[in-house]
């Protein structure tokens, strides 16, 4: 099969289209013919081995997982001997987590980690949901504990996670403020945001409006500034972020670490988010998608051999919602 492989850390040029063996499913795995995959910020961190601290988990001198990509949607081709719930021909979607491997014609994935594809979504839309949607769902529902009537601010509302977070916050009954640049104001409003702050004109940390939950997807503001935008007992959910400036030891983890160190000493709840794929999250995302209230926005679609160009675009950190790969 064709796959995007990488034998050393580095820029997009280190990614190559190669012929590799089709993987064979273990007893508890399913083999999926990939129809679409999606990019996440995770992919360029994994590609560059950046921050360098992450190499302890991803592989010291080169990526342990040779094929890049996490999110996929496709058709089940074959199943292992212990698989009970999934059958050949089923349309599924999922997130391969640190195993990677989605930028390929086939992937093997544990049965427990795939879910039926939302019936009303295209493969590209379904592939756009897992990691970004799980991050948004965990940040708002699980960690942020958003309740109806809460005021929620999403910094980075026009990105892959942000566009899903705006919609999920509305589903959870919140009054939503989205922060984005001028060109994305209409998009964020169209997703349901009640208020939109154009960061090129206004500074949300000096706004009179205070928020019960602030979900930060950019990482460009200090903890002091972010906390200024919260109610006295509000919750700050940190996801990482921070503009890439080439090779750093801990990169976006620095803001998260400082947040965790500060948390015991302040009234605000400060939580560093670590998204982890689960079947329950995929099922919840599918349910919301099938009601028509959660629709991934696709910015660009690239063919498999153009994954390097797609990642180059994403790491500019100005993609509008999701970038997908059609296979």
Ligand X SMILES: NC(=O)c1ccc[n+]([C@@H]2O[C@H](COP(=O)([O-])OP(=O)(O)OC[C@H]3O[C@@H](n4cnc5c(N)ncnc54)[C@H](OP(=O)(O)O)[C@@H]3O)[C@@H](O)[C@H]2O)c1
Of 130, 156, 296, 308, the one binding ligand X by CB under 6 A: 156
Instruction: Return the number of the residue (24 or 250) whose C-beta is nearest ligand X.
Output: 250
| Residue 317 lies near ligand X (rule: CB under 6 A) | yes
CA 147 to centroid of chain Cα atoms = 22
> 100, 124, 125, 158: which one contacts ligand X (CB under 6 A)?
158
Question: Least distance in Å: CB of 218 to ligand X?
Answer: 5
Residue from 123, 162, 277, 308 binding ligand X (CB under 6 A) = 162
Interacting span for ligand X (CB under 6 A) from 10-18, 58-66, 76-84, 310-318: 310-318
* Cα–Cα distance for residue pair 207/152, rounded to 1 Å: 14
Residues 20-49 that bind ligand X (CB under 6 A): 40-41
CA atoms within 13 A on the CB side of 42: 26
Alpha helices in 109-202 (DSSP H): 123-127, 130-137, 160-171, 185-190
CA dist 160 to 55, 108, 230, 297, 324, Å? 24, 25, 24, 8, 11
> Quick one: 86 or 138, whose CB is closer to ligand X?
138
Smallest gap from residue 209 Cβ to ligand X (A): 16
User: Among 319, 324, 325, 327, which residue interacts with ligand X (rule: CB under 6 A)?
Assistant: 319
- For the chain, how are helix, strand and coil distributed in percent, rounded to 5? 35, 30, 40
Choosing from 137, 153, 172, 273, the residue that interacts with ligand X (CB under 6 A) is: 273
Determine if 179 is a binding residue for ligand X (CB under 6 A): yes
Nearest approach, Cβ of 2 to ligand X (angstroms)? 25
Return left, alpha or beta for 67; rule: phi > 0 is left, psi -120 to 50 is alpha, else beta.
Answer: beta
Number of residues in contact with ligand X under rule CB under 6 A: 32
127-146 positions binding ligand X, by CB under 6 A: 131-132, 135
CB of 114 or CB of 165, closer to ligand X: 165
Q: What is the smallest separation between the CB atom of 94 and ligand X, expressed in angstroms? A: 15
Q: Which is nearer to ligand X, 25 or 144 (CB)?
A: 144
Q: What is residue 36's three-state secondary structure?
A: strand
CB of 171: closest distance to ligand X in angstroms? Answer: 18
Q: DSSP for 50-104?
A: -SGGGHHHH-SSS-SSSB---EEEEEEEEE-TT--S--TT-EEEEE-GGG---SB
Nearer to ligand X, 135 or 205 (CB): 135
Cis peptide before 51 (omega within 30 of 0): yes
Q: Does 94 bind ligand X (CB under 6 A)?
A: no
Question: Which residue of 175, 184, 205, 235 would you call a contact of ligand X, by CB under 6 A?
Answer: 184
Q: Please pick, from the candidates 110, 241, 251, 308, the single residue that binds ligand X as defined by CB under 6 A.
A: 241
What is d(CA 189, CA 253) in angstroms, rounded to the nearest whole number?
30
> Can you tell me the distance from the alpha carbon of 216 to that of 218, in angstroms, rounded to the nearest whole number?
6
As given in the structure block, the two tokens for residue 165 are 């977070």
Q: How far apart are CA 116 and CA 90, in angstroms?
A: 7
Question: What is the smallest separation between the CB atom of 197 and ligand X, expressed in angstroms?
Answer: 9
* Of residues 188-227, those binding ligand X (CB under 6 A): 199, 217-218, 220
Cβ(202)–Cβ(182) under 8 Å?
no
Of all helices (H) and strands (E), which one includes residue 37? strand 29-38
- Site for ligand X, rule CB under 6 A: 40-41, 131-132, 135, 155-156, 158-162, 179-181, 184, 199, 217-218, 220, 239-241, 252, 273-275, 314, 317-320
């Amino acid at each position: 099969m064709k796959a995007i492989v990488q034998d050393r850390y580095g820029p997009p040029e280190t990614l190559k289209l190669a012929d590799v063996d089709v993987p064979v499913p273990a007893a508890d795995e399913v083999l999926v013919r990939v129809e679409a995959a999606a990019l996440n910020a995770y992919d360029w961190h994994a590609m560059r081995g950046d921050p360098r601290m992450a190499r302890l988990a991803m592989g010291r001198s080169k990526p342990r997982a040779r094929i890049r990509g996490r999110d996929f949607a496709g058709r089940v081709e074959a199943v292992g001997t212990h698989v009970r719930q999934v059958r050949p021909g089923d349309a599924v979607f999922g997130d391969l987590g640190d195993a990677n491997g989605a930028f390929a014609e086939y992937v093997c994935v544990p049965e427990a980690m795939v879910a039926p594809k939302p019936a009303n979504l295209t493969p590209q839309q379904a592939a756009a949901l897992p990691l970004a949607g799980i991050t948004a769902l965990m940040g708002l529902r699980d960690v942020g504990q958003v309740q109806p009537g809460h005021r929620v601010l999403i910094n980075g509302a026009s990105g892959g996670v942000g566009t899903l977070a705006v919609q999920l916050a509305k589903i959870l009954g919140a009054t939503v403020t989205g922060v984005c640049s001028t060109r994305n104001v209409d998009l964020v409003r169209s997703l349901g945001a009640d208020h939109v702050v154009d960061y090129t004109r206004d500074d949300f940390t000096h706004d009179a409006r205070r928020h019960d939950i602030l979900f930060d997807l950019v990482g460009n503001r200090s903890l002091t500034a972010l906390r200024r935008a919260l109610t006295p007992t509000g919750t700050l959910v940190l996801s990482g972020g921070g503009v890439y400036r080439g090779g750093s030891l801990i990169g976006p983890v620095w803001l998260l670490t400082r947040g965790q160190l500060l948390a015991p000493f302040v009234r605000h709840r400060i939580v560093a988010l670590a998204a982890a794929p689960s079947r329950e999250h995929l099922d919840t995302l599918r349910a919301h998608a099938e009601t028509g209230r959660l629709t991934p926005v696709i910015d660009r679609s690239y063919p498999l051999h153009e994954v390097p160009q797609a990642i180059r675009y994403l790491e500019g950190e100005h993609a509008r919602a999701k970038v997908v790969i059609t296979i």
